[in-house]
Amino acid sequence: MKGENYDFSGLDDLYKTADELPEVSRHEVYAHQEELDEWEEIPYRDSLWTDDGRATGVVSSSESFYNVIQYGDILGTVGDAIGRRPISEPEQTLIV
């Protein structure tokens, strides 16, 4: 799995980076049984895929569990928290 690098320095760049991050959607997960050469759905997991076609991980398929999957939302929330209590300007490289 190859990631993309997103660099930002300061809150303005952080919010701009959050807007540029790919959207993520949930899809079914399947397992392959090699001896029988059969595929079976794993009903308790969902795979996460970016809108540019990269697999990014798996989460619980249950709606009862909270799963943040939109990277831009996570980064925006971090920016909001820093903005309410500015200690320093954020500077980071994010790999998605």
Q: Are 91 and 8 in contact (CB under 8 A)?
A: yes
The stretches of the chain forming alpha helices (DSSP H) are: 11-20, 71-84
Question: Average model confidence (pLDDT) for the chain?
Answer: 83
Q: What is the pTM of this model?
A: 0.64
Higher pLDDT, 96 or 81: 81
What confidence score (pLDDT) does residue 36 get?
A: 95
Express as a percent the part of the chain with pLDDT over 70: 83
What confidence score (pLDDT) does residue 47 get?
A: 92
What confidence score (pLDDT) does residue 1 get?
A: 46
